[in-house]
Amino acid sequence: MNIDLNKALQKTIRTGKVLIGSNVSIVAAQKESTLTVVLAANCPPKIRAQIQDCGNRVIEYPGRSVDLGVACGKPFPIASLTILDPGDSNVMAVFGAVEPAETQELQELQETPDEIVELS
């Protein structure tokens, strides 16, 4: 599937519900456990840790915050973007969002390469 990530984000903003900004992303992540948060590559480590500790799905945007801002059609940098509703876009498929439980299982597999681990 060859889809332009920037176009998918623009369509999400146009047809879905999003929250732009680190502070609102942190608050939303703490209140809601079914959100997806997009983090720019240069998102500050403190903000990244606060969002990731909440257990929500996290999508790593490959560009910097300035690039994420441009992709969203905004004239300012965006370190984090919270997707409440993707709308008509297929942004979740584009980024290949991974559930937090799956991420934890993958990390455990990487930490124990010599052992056989069964996933249920």
pLDDT digits (tens, 9 = 90+) for 61-86: 889 999 999 888 889 999 999 998 88
Mutual orientation of helices 22-31 and 45-52 as an angle, nearest 10°? 20
pTM of the predicted structure, to 2 decimals: 0.72
Across 91-112, average pLDDT: 49
In the chain, what are the domains?
5-111 (3.30.1330.30)
pLDDT digits (tens, 9 = 90+) for 28-45: 999 987 788 999 999 999
Across 109-118, average pLDDT: 48
In the sheet with 80-85, reading across from the earlier edge strand, the strands are 17-20, 80-85, 36-39, 57-60
